[in-house]
Amino acid sequence: MADELTGITVAFLVAPEGVEQVELTEPWKVVEATGGTAKLVSTGSGTVQAYHHLDRADTFPVDATVDSVSVDDFDALVLPGGLANPDALRMNSDAVAFARGFVDAGKPVAAICHAPWTLIEADVVRDRTLTSWPSLQTDVKNAGGTWVDEEVSVDSRGPNTLITSRNPDDLPAFNATLVTEFARAQPATR
């Protein structure tokens, strides 16, 4: 497992306003532990503020701003949750277009907790099955998706693979699934 994502670069899209720290750091560690490269992409330069629920936690340096990169620079996308992060991302047209670009390009996307808000805004959940923090189920349904209450949901029926989970308690399953699905989506020669 140590080299399953060797040669794969994963964008983590985060707004400066605040991301749930564990939903950023745990998938990040798994990507790096399996040989992948993780890059923090944000709507602003400098650092992003992380939270433990509502309490300020650490800050993390931004590798690139969303307006300075292309979907072509990455093999997969992770959308961490928290309340403020996806709410801010869905109000930024560059962030929404970036997320939509991964779906359009057939590249895998993994989103946890409130992160599907960004995908809803990108209009890419129609006819897809996903899970999220329970309060988003009406939003998912109104956007034409099917919401399920599962630890992790994998939907490969659309142009890309969509991996979703409900909350930080689901991180072990989310992380294992994103490694498997991100590796599966890559060409045999890399």
Counting the structural domains of the chain, the total is 1
In a domain, 3, yes or no: no
* DSSP H helical ranges for the chain: 21-33, 84-89, 93-104, 116-121, 137-142, 171-184
> Is pLDDT of 172 > 60?
yes
Residue 37 lies in a domain: yes
Going from the C-alpha of 125 to that of each of 48, 74, 108, 128, 176, the distances in angstroms are 27, 21, 13, 5, 22
pLDDT at 187 over 70: no
Quote the pLDDT of residue 1.
52
Which of the following is catalytic: 78, 113, 120, 179? 113
CATH label of the domain that carries residue 166: 3.40.50.880
Task: Identify whether 115 is part of a domain.
Answer: yes
Pairing of strands 109-112, 55-61: unpaired
**For the segment 8-63, what is each residue's pLDDT rounded down to a tens digit?**
999 999 999 899 999 999 999 999 999 999 999 999 999 999 999 889 999 999 99
Q: Is residue 124 part of a domain?
A: yes
189 within some domain: no
Task: Classify residue 190: in a domain, yes or no.
Answer: no
Examine residue 51 and state whether it is found in any structural domain, yes or no. Answer: yes
Q: By residue range, what is the domain housing residue 101?
A: 9-184
Q: Is 113 a catalytic residue?
A: yes
